[in-house]
Amino acid sequence: MQEIYEGNLYADRNPTWHEEDSPWKARHIEAIIRKNELRFETLCEVGCGTGEILMNLARAFPQAHLSGYEISPHAYERARNKKSASVTFHLKDFVEEDTSFDILVVADVIEHVEDYIKFLKALRSRGRYKVFHIPLDLSVQSVLRAWPIMRLRANVGHLHYFFKDTALATLRGCGYKIIDSSYTASRLELPRQALSSRLMRLPRRTLYSVSPDFAVRLLGGYSLLVLAE
């Protein structure tokens, strides 16, 4: 499946590379870093796409040097034009490089990687802290309807599907220690949502206010932000 990203197929299906979601993702990443008072000089995003998350993080943490690694030539060409004194981009497979950072950011990546267990184990020693953002595609409603999951597979290349417990169990099974985790309300807060997601906003918010875990498992619409070491 790697050829989807190394060729033009992913870009043809997703011409914006989801840049419009990047400020929202960066705010959540910044928040978990600040909440846990992480001190760092270097940060690397693995699978940085067109680099918009890093550019937003560079404004939040101007004292740090940020690096992005991307395997898609199309995304890299867009990212490298944004490089600055504190932000650099590399058209390389991060796993094959001999380098490490204070913080690794892996945002909406592991669901695309064929052997994600091997991938996660390879990352563990490459940064002191890791920030993962993982879509929680599995919920009661998504399994019953089926087409939301199949559309994610066809349009954005999701190969693996998680709910909170399996995501955390996967990270622990790969040797990570979980420091902090929280939900992010992707279907409630991101722009340009489908009509079905807009109709689900009220029930999702209402049930989430009563029982977050139950709401996410039943209705979906959330992702999981994890800080690990």
Q: Tens digits of per-residue pLDDT, 151-207?
A: 999 989 999 999 999 999 999 999 999 999 999 998 888 877 777 778 888 999 999
Residue 146, sorted as left (phi over 0), alpha (psi -120 to 50) or beta, turns out to be left
Q: How many helices (H) and strands (E) does the chain have?
A: 13, 7
Q: Which residues of the chain have pLDDT under 50?
A: none
The residue ranges of every structural domain in the chain are: 3-187+223-228
CATH architecture classification, 3-187+223-228 = 3-Layer(aba) Sandwich (3.40)
Nearest residue to 58 via CA among 79, 77, 74:
79
Residue 193 is predicted with a pLDDT of 74
Query: For residue 13, what pLDDT is reported?
Result: 82
User: Kind of pairing, strands 127-135 and 223-228?
Assistant: antiparallel
Neighbour-count burial of 62, counting CB atoms closer than 10 A to its CB (0-12 exposed, 13-18 middle, 19+ buried):
exposed
- Alpha helix ranges (H) inside 124-224: 140-145, 147-156, 164-173, 186-189, 195-199, 201-210, 212-219
DSSP 114: T
Question: Model pTM?
Answer: 0.93
Those residues with Cβ within 8 angstroms of residue 190's Cβ, 6 or more apart along the chain or in another chain: 20, 21, 24
Cα separation, 213 vs 164, in Å, equals 8
Residue 5 has a pLDDT of 77
Buried b (16+ CB within 10 A) or exposed e, 145-182: eeebbeebeeebbbebbbbbeebbebbeebebeeeebe
Q: What is the pLDDT of residue 50?
A: 96
pLDDT at 71: 95
Q: Using the 8-state DSSP alphabet, how is residue 176 labeled?
A: P
